[in-house]
Amino acid sequence: MGASAAIETRNLSRRFGAVLAVDDLHLRIPEAQIYGFLGPNGSGKSTTFRMLCGLLKPTTGEVDVLGRHLPRDAERIRTLIGYMTQQFSLYRDLTVLENLQFIGQIQGLSWRERRDRIRHSLKAYRLERYRKRRAEHLSGGERQRLALAAALLHRPPLLLLDEPTSAVDPQTRRDFWDALFELINRGTTILVSTHYMDEAERCHRLAILDRGRLVCEGEPLELMRNIDATVIEITGADLKSLRETLSGLHGVWNLTQLGSRLHALLDPETEHPVELIRAAIADANLHADVSMAEAGLEDVFVAATGRRPS
């Protein structure tokens, strides 16, 4: 069966009036792994997160978190979870040190625990030099490190990160993910929602959501190998005309330009796809090189949801 489950959901749904935000979600999330949620805006990622940490009661369905049941054990489960929201949620008019001290008090840590853990966090997340700086004067990356330090101050076995890198530069994102893998090595389970394909590829397992439903789930490499589409690359001088020619071709689901080439997704039932594309190009008196290509995670996303990532 593999690793023990940190979270299991059964028939999990959440309705807001006439809107079904999460629809019959079944998940089994292993312990000590990074489990990613990928989906466009409005796909149900944040609503799912809020249900998994007990902040939002499901309309129907059940959730088990770390061997405890929601909503029955919601108060206890909240003490076992670190939650980092998409928007910076600490106090901007407090210093780094004051924010961490306040969070430690909320979490019920003793004076000695707060002192020792804050000292460790300031060093581990490179915040020592900013300890007396107000949060409002920190950069995006510094705020991110402070938010992560605060979420982990009570040493939770489960960490939920809701699009945590949406406001930072690529190097800061890379450093942030290095820190996440350090946590995994210590046994922490991490759930992260993202719309960045390179981040999704870093996850051990990945759930793709669309309109509240789970449309794809598995290891990123497995999803790319088993994509339900044929992937074709077209290289030519007149990409605009090539795109116009191929966009209406039967069986072509999606066309996108990647630098000096076109990337096409075709219905997997299409027979002889390379020959089909070549014939359409020749009929339009155009010239291009056409070949099969390996799928990327964005191809999986588009094939599963029928739309570009937001």
Which domains does the chain carry? 5-223 (3.40.50.300), 227-305 (3.30.70.980)
The position carrying tokens 């009661």 is 57
**Chain Cα centroid distance, residue 140:** 19
Strands 261-266 and 252-258: what pairing? antiparallel
Strands 213-218 and 205-210: what pairing? antiparallel
Rounded (10°) angle between helices 96-106 and 140-151: 20
pTM (2 d.p.): 0.88
Position 215 confidence tier, pLDDT thresholds 50, 70, 90: very high
- Residues 191 and 185: their CA atoms lie apart, in Å, by 15
226-235 pLDDT per residue, tens: 999 999 999 9
For residue 242, what are its two tokens? 């090539």
pLDDT of residue 308: 55
236-274 pLDDT per residue, tens: 999 999 999 999 899 999 999 999 999 999 999 999 999
By the 8 A CB rule, do 82 and 156 touch? yes
For residue 239, what are its two tokens? 């990409």
Task: Say which residues have a Cβ less than 8 Å from residue 98's Cβ, sequence separation at least 6.
Answer: 91
By the 8 A CB rule, do 192 and 161 touch? yes
188-205 pLDDT per residue, tens: 999 999 888 888 999 999
Position 1 confidence tier, pLDDT thresholds 50, 70, 90: very low
Cα distances (Å, whole numbers) of residue 172 to 70, 139, 140, 176, 200? 35, 11, 9, 6, 16
